[in-house]
Amino acid sequence: MSKSKYKNLLIGGCILCWYILPLRLSSQELLEYYPPQHAQVSDSIYRKWSNELKEFFLEGKNKICNYCPSGIVICYCHLKANPEIIWNSIIYSLKTDSIFTCKFDFNLDLRNKIIKSAITPKQYFEYRKICDTVFKRVDSSLIKELVKIKQRDEQIREHHTYEEIRTNKKLQDEMVQLDTINMRHIDDILLRYGRYPGKKLVDEMSGVVASVILHSPYANQLKYFLHIEKAVYNHDLSPQYLALLTDRIKMIEGKPQEFCSQIVYDEKKKKEVLYKYQGTIQEVEKRRIRFRMLSLKQYLENYYPHIEYPNK
């Protein structure tokens, strides 16, 4: 073989390797991959979705960001990335949060059309099969059980203000009785299933168990803290519940809260105030963003307009 032919073959092989390398990327390696600009994608569209992709990559470093992999999928679709890249990103999204991914991609018509046109018919059929299995995995009998527990949990709280409950001994006693009944059921459920019944098992009812634990005595909150923490980091429960439980425990222990989720009644001032918090209010806001909570400023404006937003 002549030197020129060998050189051409070597260059061609390198180009081929560079071209197929992205197709062999694993779901983990897909992170930080930016596809080259497709001929059918305009400069403005490429910039827009590349920037979106960058944002999802950055947010994805936050281990509790369950929507980031799904965002990466749609960015790749708009950028007209190779179907194998999109398929790998779908698999990664399914591993992160299968219920969220399937509901998002098959319940929203426009998104479904975009994804369907971006992958091969075989891949789309496989995706449909996976999601059918995901939906069948939901435990309907446990959901019914949790619905009843939720109704009891909200029986007093949804129909009376904090002030009404605080000043009415009869309401307090009734609420404690309902919470005690609920906690017995939760103990039984966690014993039966051996893990937190999260989104993969009960879909939208995943927060019920956490709510009951939040309303239970300190000993139960400590006992089940790791269950809730694990469920959150497995993308099986909204991270807000972990933030609430963390603050609740710290408040009971007399320590500063991290997310400013706890509001107490100040007997001296005769009004509701924010319980003491750790660090600056800017640091609190950053923690709230990380745990996908409404900003404290917006939260106070919406629900506690009489409480002044702290400036430091």
Per-residue pLDDT of the chain (312 residues; tens, 9 = 90+): 444 444 443 333 343 333 333 434 444 445 578 999 999 999 999 999 999 999 999 888 888 888 899 999 999 999 999 999 999 999 999 988 999 999 999 988 999 999 999 999 999 999 999 999 988 888 999 999 999 999 999 999 999 988 899 899 999 999 999 999 999 999 999 999 999 999 999 999 999 999 999 999 999 999 999 999 999 999 999 999 999 999 999 999 999 999 999 999 998 888 899 999 999 999 999 999 999 999 999 999 999 999 999 988
pLDDT at 293: 95
Kind of pairing between the strands at 263-266 and 271-274: antiparallel
Amino acid 272 reads E
Q: Which residues pair with 277 in a beta bridge?
A: 257
pLDDT at 63: 80
* CA separation for the pair 168, 170 (Å, rounded): 6
* CA separation for the pair 99, 95 (Å, rounded): 10
Nearest C-alpha neighbor of 254 from the set 279, 283, 276, 239: 276
Q: Which residues pair with 272 in a beta bridge?
A: 265
pLDDT at 161: 87
* CA separation for the pair 114, 117 (Å, rounded): 5
pLDDT at 31: 57
First-to-last alpha carbon distance for the chain, in angstroms, is 75
Note whether 285 and 295 are within 8 A (CB). yes
What pTM value is reported for the model?
A: 0.79
